[in-house]
Amino acid sequence: MSDPGKRRWLILSHAYNVDGRAESVTITDKIPHLLAAGIEPVVFSSVMGQPDPQVTHVQMLPWGPAGIRFDLRHVLARRFGRGVVYRVLSLIVTVLLALPILVERLLGGLRSQWSWAIPALLRGRGLVKRGEVELVFSTGGVFSAHLAGYWLKRWTGCRWIVEVHDPLVIPGRAPQGRHERFLARLEERICRHADLAWWFTDGALAAARRRHPELGERGIVVLPGAEPPVVRTEYQRGPQCVFGHFGSLSPTRSLAPALEAIALLLQRDPSLREVLRLEVYGSALDPQAAQLVESLKLTGVVLPIGRLEFDPATGLSGRARVMQRMQQCDVLLMMHGDMAEAGEYIPSKLYEYFWARRPVLALTCENAQLDALVVGHGGWVAPTREQPAVVEAFAAAIGRWREGGLPDVDVPPVTVADAVGRILKAVDGLGSARRG
């Protein structure tokens, strides 16, 4: 039995402490606040991330060949970089596991991480049976954490709380293929069996409740928030109006609508070419945006900078440099994306933007909660698909900059401490009730 004066939680997080992964930051940022509240976390994760010395951290390889290959690639990249040694060793692993992976896919049809749930179940079952943890907390992201949590719930009757990062069911159509049907069944099991489950948006919770009314009041919304920046930099208005985009880009989260709006503004007012800049950090331009930079003649206006790494001259980490640059930009640009699940999704980068205290210009897709957050923090919103509205949003931001009216935003940001406080209050409200 555990010390009755301690509260220990078993946290299942496949991508725990993996640099650059939003899924990882969402849980690792919570750890100091859980510790401060008297919670002793025991973390089960994959081997992809760095060991975390502040908690009991158990890293496990999955038991399936596809999962082993996936995780080992991350380990090799961390150990050797992505040069020749990495490529040779990755090729050896791929060749050795090729036939088992083929058999696994033919029999199962699930994505590679599923088999991590097996060792998590077997190791976790002993902790629960011995009374060493108060509850099981699955978080992701990667669905295998929730699969392991569900198995532990059914096998041991433990209390199970769930943090769902991304919609498990794509809105607007029936699940397609074995993997999507599996995720739909997993959502049903979460809604039926979890003692507490939370989503990150009103839209995601509402959709889950529509599909599974039995969830009832056990489902809540918790905005994940972000931690304060490790460095503070004073904003100073410069000779150019700099928009900064930070984060990943893809065909479904493309810079194209922003670039087309900028091109129209330059046609309308050619003098803007000397003062308007869009700096792109953290990702290469998506294919459509890269083509538009050339065809719309935006070279010199759009500056693809990429990832910021550790700076030995200042001692600042890549993440610290990102936060520093956010605070120096005149306006922070957020691309919500144009996909079916946009109404149930808020980019986690938004909460870091709020901590930078700079106004946000967000191109969004059918998400009233997101729009309200941006406007409430002194920013501008335009529907991604409505080009005139996007043009006017950029024009409004530039106009305010020209008038010298872009001081730091004084609206309080959304914090991780708030998120953890809401979770703890909800968990304490469960009392001693146990649902099977």
Q: What is the per-residue pLDDT for 82?
A: 81
423: its two tokens: 């979770």
The mean pLDDT of the chain is 92
Q: What is the per-residue pLDDT for 224?
A: 97
pLDDT band at 435 (very low <50, low <70, confident <90, very high): very low
Q: What is the per-residue pLDDT for 3?
A: 53
% of the chain residues with pLDDT over 70: 97
pLDDT band at 341 (very low <50, low <70, confident <90, very high): confident
Consecutive H or E run containing 278: strand 276-281
Q: Which of 29-33, 95-99, 212-216, 234-238 has the lowest mean pLDDT?
A: 95-99
Mean pLDDT of 339-361: 94
Q: What is the per-residue pLDDT for 33?
A: 98
Mean pLDDT of 57-85: 86
Higher pLDDT, 88 or 11: 11
Please determine, for residue 2, whether its predicted confidence score (pLDDT) is greater than 50. no
% of the chain residues with pLDDT over 90: 74
Alpha carbons 379 and 363: distance in angstroms, whole number: 11
User: Tens of pLDDT along 387-399?
Assistant: 999 999 999 999 9
User: Tens of pLDDT along 269-284?
Assistant: 999 999 999 999 998 9
Domain boundaries along the sequence of the chain: 7-225+417-428, 241-402
Higher pLDDT, 376 or 174: 376
Which residue bears the tokens 């984060």?
247
Coil vs helix vs strand at 223 = coil
pTM: 0.89
**Phi, then psi, of 331 in degrees rounded to 5:** -140, 140
The secondary structure of 41-84 as a DSSP string is EEEEE-SSS---TTSEEEE---SSHHHHHHHHHHHHHHHHTTSH
For the domain spanning 241-402, the CATH number is 3.40.50.2000
The secondary structure of 134-191 as a DSSP string is SEEEEEESSTHHHHHHHHHHHHH---EEEEE-S-SS-TTS---HHHHHHHHHHHHHHH
* CATH T-level fold of 7-225+417-428: Rossmann fold (3.40.50)
Please determine, for residue 137, whether its predicted confidence score (pLDDT) is greater than 60. yes
**Phi, then psi, of 378 in degrees rounded to 5:** 75, 25
User: Tens of pLDDT along 145-154?
Assistant: 999 999 999 9
First-to-last C-alpha distance (Å) of the chain: 22
Consecutive H or E run containing 127: helix 117-129
Please determine, for residue 1, whether its predicted confidence score (pLDDT) is greater than 60. no
What contacts 53, CB < 8 A, 6 or more positions away? Answer: none
Q: Which of 120-124, 252-256, 271-275, 313-317 has the lowest mean pLDDT?
A: 313-317
Alpha carbons 46 and 148: distance in angstroms, whole number: 13
Q: What is the per-residue pLDDT for 74?
A: 80
Mean pLDDT of 407-415: 95
Please determine, for residue 81, whether its predicted confidence score (pLDDT) is greater than 90. no
Coil vs helix vs strand at 23 = helix
